Structure 1
Amino acid sequence: MALISIEDLAELDDEQLDDDITDNSEPMDDEEQERLYAHWQAVGSTHQVSVPQEMRGPIQEMTRRNQQQEQVPFATISQHEKLGEVAYEERVYPPGKWACITKGEELYEQSISMGFMKLMRYICKENSAGRYLGMTIPILNEIHMLEDGNGFVKDIVTAYYLPAEFQDNPPEPTDPDITIGHRDTLRVVTRVFFGTTTEETIMRQINLLWELLGNTDTLHRDVYMVAVYENPGVSCRRNEIWFIRRDS
């Protein structure tokens, strides 16, 4: 489905491209817009999705406002080190309202890409307020495991936390696939990892964190979350795997 391949951008310097498209708050000229769209197309091709023309506006809007990000509120409960580095930590996230969409494509990366593009359009004015709402991080992808524990259920929930300004009165999405819902307090054990997120890389992170934690029945094994802190245009993205604490 890709409209442009990675090879088509081989002549571009990746680091220069990333700098160009993330640090400029001024309106883009036509050449910059084309380079940015081509970059997202190339990233999309690695996820086996095509970035439609109607995403040009949201991509430009979110790129220009890249430095204006609001952190989803949380409190750190504890940190656990291994060899002098934080191996994992436990946090609690307060209740709040999230915009959510569920996608069930053939591949995990297709589901999260399609879901996030729809959320981008909601954030970038396709809402009842008719305005840019503001980006919050992380974006969450909720994964449910197959009964045998060896893979994911195809339906993936992608969730965007409403900025503080809109928590009491969230703008309604124009896209009927997006719903606004309230999530209760969430207590999680988290571990950072970097790079792309596929079913294979996420399963590796799940298994690694279980090795660090050992046997415990206080955490869910049938549902996990992947927290994403950077947009798909960033080559080495910061992510976290979240294990969810059972209600006591």
Structure 2
Amino acid sequence: MARITLEELNELDDEDLDEDEEPMDEEEQNRLFSHWEAIASTHQVTLPREMAGPVVQMTRHNQTRETVPYATLSQHEKCEEIAYEERLYPSGKWACTTRGDPKYEQSISMGFMKLMRYICKENSLRRHLGMTVPVVNEIHLNKEGTELLQEVITGYYLPEEFQLNPPLPMDPEIQVIERAPLQVITRVFYGNTTEETILREIHLLWELLGSADNVLHEIYMVATYENPGVPNRRNEIWFIRRAN
């Protein structure tokens, strides 16, 4: 795995600093990049050199995250705990990129790195846009429902400030689209998101639901609320209701 030098990290970080931000010291820069590099390696992905600036920016703004708006339609309990709930997400603008890497973990990692660069100033405004959660990965299953297809669409909801006039991406592989209102059945799970865990969570939610004719069977969404370095991070599996 190629490593970035301290000099290169300093140069990239200085370019991405806002005027009112104090530079991060060298030891912290090295520690931070090594941490993200190690996380990327667990997904069989090499963290490229151009990610140094976005890594610093995302870390600086980690405490300020806007939640994607939604309305809770219903909650369903099992053993006195919420087993799943139904939500309605309004229409909104999302920045999306599509990957088809050999493994799901590689696709979501490479897709999110592209979106990180868009969020961290590789946009027409040349400014940090701010993070929203969750990041949503749209996945497709084969007809038998036994394995994921390679194509994964990773989506970042534009903060409310930019919904009416979204900044344009510099990367041609990122598209800003308007998604129609989305009604989903969602269940929380924790830990890493791999093809194995996703298929297991889909199976578990189908067991809870039983049959549901107005739910899509070959397209699902995986929502993530924390970065991959967070132990036991929160995720959700989303089943999509058919549009009326």
TM-score by length of 2: 0.90
CA distance in 1, matches of 2:32, 2:78: 40
Q: Which runs of 5+ in 2 are unaligned?
A: 4-20
Per the alignment, residue 119 of structure 1 pairs with 115
What letter corresponds to residue 51 of structure 1 in structure 2?
L
CA distance in 2, matches of 1:213, 1:63: 39
Indicate whether 1:52 and 2:48 are aligned. yes
What letter corresponds to residue 203 of structure 2 in structure 1?
N
Give the deviation of 1:148 after TM superposition. Answer: 2.3
CA distance in 1, matches of 2:173, 2:125: 18
Q: How does 1:67-146 map to 2 (within 5 A)?
A: 67-146=63-142
Q: How many residues align?
A: 228
Answer yes or no: is the 8 Å Cα contact 1:26–1:64 preserved in 2: no
Answer yes or no: is the 8 Å Cα contact 1:78–1:90 preserved in 2: yes
Match of 2:220 among 224, 228, 235: 224
Give 4+ residue runs of structure 1 displaced > 6 Å after superposition: none
CA distance in 2, matches of 1:46, 1:193: 20
CA distance in 1, matches of 2:2, 2:75: 42
Q: Deviations over 1:9-60 (max 9, x none)?
A: xxxxxxxxxxxxxxxx964211111111111111111100011111111111
Match of 2:176 among 154, 161, 180: 180
CA distance in 2, matches of 1:132, 1:168: 17
Q: Which runs of 5+ in 1 are unaligned?
A: 4-24
CA distance in 2, matches of 1:149, 1:2: 38
Identity of aligned residues (%): 64
Q: How does 1:234-245 map to 2 (within 5 A)?
A: 234-245=230-241
- SS of aligned partner of 2:164: coil
What letter corresponds to residue 239 of structure 1 in structure 2?
N
CA distance in 1, matches of 2:46, 2:238: 29
- SS of aligned partner of 1:37: helix
TM-score by length of 1: 0.89
Answer yes or no: is the 8 Å Cα contact 1:139–1:159 preserved in 2: yes
RMSD, aligned CA:
1.5
CA distance in 2, matches of 1:52, 1:232: 17
What letter corresponds to residue 46 of structure 2 in structure 1?
S
Per the alignment, residue 208 of structure 2 pairs with 212
CA distance in 2, matches of 1:2, 1:42: 12
Answer yes or no: is the 8 Å Cα contact 1:140–1:160 preserved in 2: yes
- SS of aligned partner of 1:35: helix
Answer yes or no: is the 8 Å Cα contact 1:95–1:182 preserved in 2: yes
Give the deviation of 1:233 after TM superposition. Answer: 2.3
Indicate whether 1:156 and 2:152 are aligned. yes
What letter corresponds to residue 36 of structure 1 in structure 2?
L
Per the alignment, residue 143 of structure 2 pairs with 147
CA distance in 2, matches of 1:2, 1:111: 20
Greater alpha carbon shift after TM alignment, 62-71 vs 146-155: 146-155
Answer yes or no: is the 8 Å Cα contact 1:92–1:186 preserved in 2: yes
CA distance in 2, matches of 1:221, 1:2: 41
CA distance in 1, matches of 2:22, 2:207: 47
Per the alignment, residue 16 of structure 2 pairs with none
Give the deviation of 1:136 after TM superposition. Answer: 0.5
Q: Deviations over 1:148-201 (max 9, x none)?
A: 221111010000000111001100000010001010000000000111101001
Q: Deviations over 1:92-144 (max 9, x none)?
A: 00000000000000000000000000000000000000000010000000001
Match of 2:243 among 236, 244, 247: 247
CA distance in 1, matches of 2:173, 2:208: 38
Per the alignment, residue 9 of structure 1 pairs with none
